């Protein structure tokens, strides 16, 4: 009985279109959105889930594969798909009413009808009374309500949402989610299916009928979970907690490649997308694991996230950094400090730096490569450009810069090399 | 408090009875319309070459002159806007157009107003034989060349910085290019565009004499206006008339600031996020009156209907080109390169031949030397005015309330035409037997030094309050307060101001290096005087040579001095 609203068939995307072997962002992703379904795409940042969403919306084109909307190929934004943006994307110079009317105006809806429909949409989303306000007068939650009203007023067949709640505080997000589910369940919208991208596990578990878990490097669907829990879902119920735990386990096990030979040879090769984590965060997590969970050998990740009041997207990069440096092991939704991690905790400041340096050079080819080049050169200096261009074989320009910045931060902390921001030079000298 | 003012239609029906404010607003608006249409009619009067239009120094004539001057400026501003909207958009949208337009604007910006005027005036006169429209058009075109470039460049930069998600919204909701332009691109650019328009108006006042009293290419046409009035006052050594002109200018500048720019600023500030909560926004009494009127309700209703109709004109919302999958093959980009480079080298060749064939070769060396003199003047002036205005700017910037009050005043100073101070300078030089080479120099920076002050004030205001507290707390004082805190903090702003000031000084050299008061004419050796002298007699080879050399100097200095500094300021010194 269920018709397929939106289909993605074998979607792949590379950032350099002329060499498909290099730097895949999305690898052969498939997705079906059926009538009456809410699908959540769950993954950490950098997993290409936002790129995938933009391909579905027709905003970017895939390198290979195709998107079908009710069996017609999508090559540009189609009428019938509405979108809600992470940072609201409201026009600051238009009032709430004008913002909501924008899409109708583009469709050529007559003025009077436009006004009526926009006012109705604003009422539905609970923003009655704010029609003449400019976005800057509104709080984040209210702005996103306007974002929803703007998307819903054109009666979209499918509603696509790009991390719609992630820029909001917890309470506001909670409130908005409940309202959205109410609208959906009571058929107050003409929408037949919804698709949202999120990095928040609870959010996905709360809203979706089906959760697709994305893994990174390259982004692909690692697992799919059907959720049968009835709405409204209680996030303290046993079933719900079990679901969350299952998702955590799936995420932490699927992060690693299943092929053991690859793990051995080039676990974190030059082109590895290092997580954007500071040394302070690494040390902070080690200290938390050691002190706050002293009586436990392994710690449940959902419990840890709860303890630190952190999102998946905030916590997983740090646990990944700990893994890269062999300070901890992560598997099946659990984390465990290694002996090196414990040793790191009890060392003093200088010894910590030494230990960090040792782990960094041993585990991260990029760091050892930089150190090797600097050691070999007569003046012990090298330009960052050299390493950037090397990284750009694997990663986009922006991503290369980010990865190099992280390595430089870690290397500077470990004092295995120095860096001069003004000239962009790496060296073995200590800065003045 | 949230009245449903969106429902302008029904509100209009309820409150159709006019109130006293309506009357005031109506009178103001009708007065503006009537006066401008009168001035416009004057423009098309019959005129023959050689005929002298009588200019009178009677102060009662000044309002009429001022009106005609302002009308020219507004027409030029409208032209500049049109140019900005088309050329600026083209540059932002097409990579190929960008490669041609942006360097061209750099060059055009470096060409002095007088050079444009000397090349075009004959053409405009022959376009409308027997009518004053010819010289009027030449004058408006000259003003246009003083206004358009910074507006176009600013608009282009704004278009380039539209947040990506707003563009995605436009695509998701199927806005046509026309709708996108008016709903997203123009509003996004409005704050910077307004600022650039105000700067452009200042620039056109600065060249008001040069653009109205056209004495180029052996023409001597004086169009009725404030500029011609000033020119006559200077010729007749009438100091009183110069004072009248100053007062008149002051009033006119205040008027259009209040009636035109303030309302727009007020509107644009309504949606801009403010960084500091304590600063007061722009006030506009004109908006206040308008807001009190029922007329507003009617006119805003009418306005919104008209704009919506305009926005939704179906023919404008059709895609410009039918969608095809055709892509330019790579080879054609080589063809394009070949085409543009042959155009560039071709015109370079023509220009060189034009200059070389009739001028002795050592003329080029001489002109380059003159350019060096002017460059030295500009350099020294920037240093001196920095030494003066940086401390003053910081002092003002540390007092936000004062800064806010001074803003319109400084704007007025920036638009003050240098010519009005010529009498004082010439009299002073003659009386005290001063060195002409040195003492005419300050006139060059007269108009543009304020950009340094303006930007330093803005930079100081921009430094977070916490940094001020932190430095106070650390007890930072004296030299280290300046070198470790204040100077690096305002550096990006200072550089922007200094670039503008230097550009302005080059442009002003053509009116500042050759000054006269009555029959006394003082000439300083420099590129500006060279160009000014030969525009009067219409020696096109020498004008072309002088203008090319000036362009070369300005562009070269931009490349080797200002751009690296600007890059440093942008990369390293931006506050966190």
CATH code for the domain in which residue B85 is found = 1.10.3720.10
User: Residues 6 or more apart from A398 whose CB is under 8 A from it?
Assistant: none
Interface residue B315 vs chain A (CB under 8 A): no
How would residue B7 be classed by pLDDT, with cut points 50, 70 and 90?
Answer: very low
- What's the confidence (pLDDT) of residue A162? 92
Residues of chain A scoring pLDDT < 70: 1-2, 16-23, 254-267, 312, 430-432
Model confidence pLDDT, tens digit, residues B172-212: 988 888 888 988 999 888 888 887 888 888 888 888 888 88
Which residue range forms the structural domain that includes residue B298? Answer: 7-43+284-315
Among A123-127, A337-341, B111-115, B546-550, the range scoring the smallest mean pLDDT is B111-115
Q: Which among A106, A132, A134 is the nearest to B176, CB-wise? A: A106
- What's the confidence (pLDDT) of residue B279? 45
Whole-angstrom distance, CA of residue B576 vs CA of residue B571:
11
Whether B405 is in a domain gets the answer: yes
Contact B188 A93 (CB under 8 A): yes
Whether B213 is in a domain gets the answer: yes
Alpha-carbon separation of residue A424 from A210, A415, B408 (angstroms): 47, 17, 43
Q: Give burial (CB, 10 Å; 0-12/13-18/19+) of B560.
A: exposed
Q: Verify cis geometry, omega within 30 degrees of 0, for the bond prior to A104.
A: no
Residues B67, B39 within the same domain: no
- What's the confidence (pLDDT) of residue B273? 63
Question: Is 3.40.50.300 the CATH number for A4-254?
Answer: yes
Q: Which among A89, A103, A135 is the nearest to B168, CB-wise? A: A89
Q: Look at strands A220-226 and A193-198 and give their pairing.
A: unpaired
Q: How far is B272 from chain A (nearest CA, A)?
A: 7
| Contacts B176 to A, Cβ<8 Å | 106
Whether B328 is in a domain gets the answer: no
- Lookup result for tokens 């959205």: A180
Whole-angstrom distance, CA of residue A97 vs CA of residue A117:
10
Most confident of A89-93, A297-301, B378-382, B434-438: B378-382
- What's the confidence (pLDDT) of residue B3? 35
Residues B294, B210 within the same domain: no
Whether B330 is in a domain gets the answer: no
Q: Which residues in chain A (136-155) have CB-CB distances under 8 A to chain B?
A: 136, 150, 154
Whether B548 is in a domain gets the answer: yes
Residues B528-539 have a mean pLDDT of 86
| Contacts A140 to B, Cβ<8 Å | none
- Fill in the DSSP letter of residue B550: H
Beta bridge partner(s), residue A14 = A24
For residues A398 and A405, the answer to whether their CB atoms sit within 8 Å is no
**Chain-centre distance for alpha carbon B404:** 22
Q: Give burial (CB, 10 Å; 0-12/13-18/19+) of B220.
A: exposed
| Contacts A146 to B, Cβ<8 Å | none
- What's the confidence (pLDDT) of residue A66? 92
Distance linking the first and last C-alpha atoms of chain A = 72
CA geometry: angle B9, B11, B15, nearest 5 deg:
125
CB-based burial, A27-41: b 16+ in 10 Å, e otherwise: bebebebbeebbbbb
What ipTM was estimated for this complex?
0.74
Q: Give the length of chain A.
A: 432
Interface residue B398 vs chain A (CB under 8 A): no
Residues B378, B303 within the same domain: no
Helix (H) / strand (E) element for A150: namely helix A140-152
For residues B147 and B77, the answer to whether their CB atoms sit within 8 Å is yes
| Contacts A108 to B, Cβ<8 Å | 312, 314, 317
Mean pLDDT of chain B: 80
| Position B507 pLDDT exceeds 70 | yes
Alpha-carbon separation of residue A370 from A114, A359, A365 (angstroms): 61, 15, 9
Whole-angstrom distance, CA of residue B33 vs CA of residue B37:
6
- What's the confidence (pLDDT) of residue B402? 84
Whether B279 is in a domain gets the answer: no
Which alpha helices (DSSP H) does A292-338 contain, by range? 301-308, 312-324
Whether B275 is in a domain gets the answer: no
Helix (H) / strand (E) element for A221: namely strand A220-226
Residues B295, B434 within the same domain: no
| Contacts A59 to B, Cβ<8 Å | 168, 171-172
Beta bridge partner(s), residue B27 = none
Residues B422, B550 within the same domain: yes
Model confidence pLDDT, tens digit, residues B14-32: 444 556 666 776 777 777 7
**Largest distance between two CA atoms of chain A:** 76
Contact A77 B172 (CB under 8 A): yes
**Chain-centre distance for alpha carbon B528:** 20
For residues A49 and A41, the answer to whether their CB atoms sit within 8 Å is yes
Strands (E), B446-519: 514-517
Q: Which long-range contacts (CB under 8 A, 24 or more apart) does A387-394 make?
A: A387/A426, A390/A270, A391/A270, A391/A271, A391/A366, A393/A22, A393/A23, A393/A271, A394/A22, A394/A23, A394/A269, A394/A270, A394/A271
**Largest distance between two CA atoms of chain B:** 80
Return phi, psi of residue A330, to 5°: -120, 125
CA B286, B287, B288, B289 torsion: positive or negative? positive
Whole-angstrom distance, CA of residue B562 vs CA of residue A197:
46
Q: Give the length of chain B.
A: 576
- For chain B, the domain total comes to 3
Per-domain residue ranges for chain A? 4-254, 275-344
Whether B277 is in a domain gets the answer: no
CB atoms within 10 A of CB B203: 23
CA A91, A96, A100, A103 torsion: positive or negative? negative
Last residue of a domain, one of B270, B298, B325: B270
| Position B344 pLDDT exceeds 90 | no
Fold of domain A275-344? Arc Repressor Mutant, subunit A (1.10.10)
- What's the confidence (pLDDT) of residue B313? 65
Among A144-153, B60-69, B291-300, the range scoring the smallest mean pLDDT is B291-300
Residues B245, B297 within the same domain: no
User: Residues 6 or more apart from B512 whose CB is under 8 A from it?
Assistant: B418, B440, B441, B443, B444, B446, B528
Give me the torsion for CA of A201, A202, A205, A211, rounded to 10°: -10
Residues B354, B232 within the same domain: no
Model confidence pLDDT, tens digit, residues B409-425: 776 677 677 667 777 78
Nearest to A407 by CA among A294, A314, A312, A268: A268
> How much is the pTM?
0.78
Higher pLDDT, residue B396 or B519: B396
Among B144-153, B293-302, B480-489, the range scoring the smallest mean pLDDT is B293-302
């Amino acid at each position: 009985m269920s018709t397929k609203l939106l289909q993605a068939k074998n979607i792949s995307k590379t950032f350099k279109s002329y060499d498909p072997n290099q730097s895949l962002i999305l690898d052969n992703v498939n997705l079906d959105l059926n009538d009456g379904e809410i699908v959540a795409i769950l993954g950490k940042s950098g997993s290409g889930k936002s790129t995938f969403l933009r391909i579905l919306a027709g905003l970017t084109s895939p390198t290979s594969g195709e998107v079908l909307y009710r069996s017609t190929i999508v090559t540009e934004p189609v009428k019938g798909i509405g979108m809600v943006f992470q940072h609201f994307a409201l026009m600051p110079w238009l009032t709430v009413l004008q913002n909501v009317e924008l899409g109708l105006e583009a469709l050529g809806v007559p003025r009077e009808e436009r006004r009526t429909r926009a006012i109705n949409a604003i009422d539905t989303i609970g923003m009655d009374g704010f029609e003449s306000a400019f976005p800057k007068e509104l709080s984040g939650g209210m702005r996103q309500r306007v974002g929803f009203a703007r998307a819903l007023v054109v009666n979209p067949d499918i509603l696509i949402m790009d991390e719609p709640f992630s820029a909001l505080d917890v309470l506001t997000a909670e409130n908005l989610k409940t309202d959205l589910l109410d609208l959906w369940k009571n058929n107050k919208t003409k929408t037949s299916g919804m698709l949202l991208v999120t990095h928040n596990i609870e959010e996905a578990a709360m809203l979706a009928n089906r959760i697709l878990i994305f893994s990174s490097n390259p982004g692909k669907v690692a697992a799919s979970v059907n959720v049968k829990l009835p709405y409204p879902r209680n996030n303290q119920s046993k079933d719900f907690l079990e679901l969350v735990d299952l998702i955590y386990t799936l995420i932490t096990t699927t992060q690693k490649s299943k092929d053991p030979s690859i793990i051995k040879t080039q676990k974190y090769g030059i082109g590895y997308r290092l997580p954007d984590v500071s040394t302070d965060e690494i040390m902070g997590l080690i200290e938390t694991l050691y002190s706050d969970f002293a009586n436990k050998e392994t710690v449940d990740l959902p419990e840890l996230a709860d303890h630190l009041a952190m999102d998946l997207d905030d916590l997983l990069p740090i646990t990944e950094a700990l893994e890269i440096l062999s300070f901890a092991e992560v598997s099946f939704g659990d984390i465990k400090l290694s002996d090196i991690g414990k040793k790191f905790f009890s060392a003093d400041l200088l010894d910590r730096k030494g230990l960090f340096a040792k782990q960094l050079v041993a585990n991260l080819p990029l760091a050892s490569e930089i150190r090797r080049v600097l050691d070999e050169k007569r003046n012990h200096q090298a330009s960052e450009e050299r390493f950037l261009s090397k990284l750009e074989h694997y990663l986009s320009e922006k991503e290369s810069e980010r990865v190099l910045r992280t390595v430089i931060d870690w290397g500077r902390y470990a004092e295995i090399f120095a860096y001069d921001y003004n000239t962009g030079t790496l060296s073995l000298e200590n800065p003045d | 408090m949230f009245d449903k003012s969106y429902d302008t239609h029904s509100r209009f029906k309820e409150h159709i009875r006019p109130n006293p404010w309506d009357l005031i607003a109506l009178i103001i608006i009708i007065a503006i319309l009537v006066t401008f249409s009168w001035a416009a009619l004057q423009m098309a009067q019959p005129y023959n070459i050689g005929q002298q239009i009588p200019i009178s120094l009677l102060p009662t004539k000044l309002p009429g002159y001022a009106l005609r001057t302002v009308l020219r400026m507004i027409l030029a501003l409208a032209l500049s806007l049109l140019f900005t909207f088309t050329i600026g958009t083209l540059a932002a949208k097409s990579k190929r157009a960008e490669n041609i337009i942006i360097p061209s604007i750099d060059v055009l910006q470096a060409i002095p107003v007088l050079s444009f005027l000397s090349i075009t005036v004959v053409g405009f006169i022959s376009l409308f034989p027997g009518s004053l429209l010819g010289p009027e058009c030449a004058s408006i075109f000259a003003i246009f060349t003083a206004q358009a470039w910074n507006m176009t460049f600013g608009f282009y930069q704004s278009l380039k910085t539209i947040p990506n998600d707003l563009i995605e919204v436009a695509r998701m909701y199927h806005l046509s290019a026309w709708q996108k332009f008016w709903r997203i691109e123009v509003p996004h650019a409005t704050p910077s565009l307004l600022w650039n328009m105000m700067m452009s108006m200042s620039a056109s006042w600065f060249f008001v004499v040069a653009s109205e009293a056209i004495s180029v290419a052996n023409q001597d046409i004086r169009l009725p206006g404030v500029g011609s009035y000033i020119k006559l006052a200077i010729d007749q050594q009438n100091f009183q008339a110069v004072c009248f002109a100053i007062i008149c200018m002051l009033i006119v500048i205040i008027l259009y600031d209040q009636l035109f720019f303030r309302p727009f600023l007020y509107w644009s500030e309504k949606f801009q996020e403010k960084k500091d909560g304590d600063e007061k926004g722009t006030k506009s009494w004109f908006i206040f009156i308008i807001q009190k009127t029922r007329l507003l309700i009617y006119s805003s209703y009418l306005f919104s209907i008209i704009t919506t109709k305009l926005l939704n004109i179906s023919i404008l919302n059709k895609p410009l080109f039918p969608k095809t999958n055709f892509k330019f093959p790579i080879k054609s980009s080589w063809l394009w390169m070949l085409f543009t480079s042959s155009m560039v080298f071709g015109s370079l060749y023509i220009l060189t031949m034009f200059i070389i064939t009739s001028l002795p070769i050592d003329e080029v060396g001489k002109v380059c030397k003159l350019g060096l003199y002017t460059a030295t003047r500009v350099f020294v002036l920037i240093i001196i005015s920095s030494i003066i205005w940086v401390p003053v700017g910081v002092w003002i910037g540390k007092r936000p309330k004062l800064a806010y009050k001074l803003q319109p005043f400084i704007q007025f100073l920036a638009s003050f035409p240098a010519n009005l101070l010529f009498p004082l300078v010439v009299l002073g030089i003659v009386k005290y037997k001063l060195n002409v080479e040195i003492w005419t120099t300050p006139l060059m920076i007269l108009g543009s030094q304020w950009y340094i002050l303006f930007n330093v004030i803005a930079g100081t205001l921009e430094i977070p309050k916490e940094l001020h507290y932190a430095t106070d707390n650390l007890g930072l004082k004296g030299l280290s307060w300046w070198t470790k805190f204040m100077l690096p903090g305002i550096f990006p702003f200072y550089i922007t101001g200094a670039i503008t000031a230097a550009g302005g000084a080059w442009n002003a050299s053509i009116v500042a290096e050759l000054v006269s008061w009555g029959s006394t004419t003082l000439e300083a050796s420099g590129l500006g005087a060279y160009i000014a002298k030969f525009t009067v007699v219409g020696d096109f080879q020498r004008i072309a040579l002088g203008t090319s050399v000036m362009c070369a100097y300005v562009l070269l200095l931009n490349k080797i001095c200002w751009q690296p500094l600007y890059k440093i300021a942008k990369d390293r010194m931006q506050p966190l």
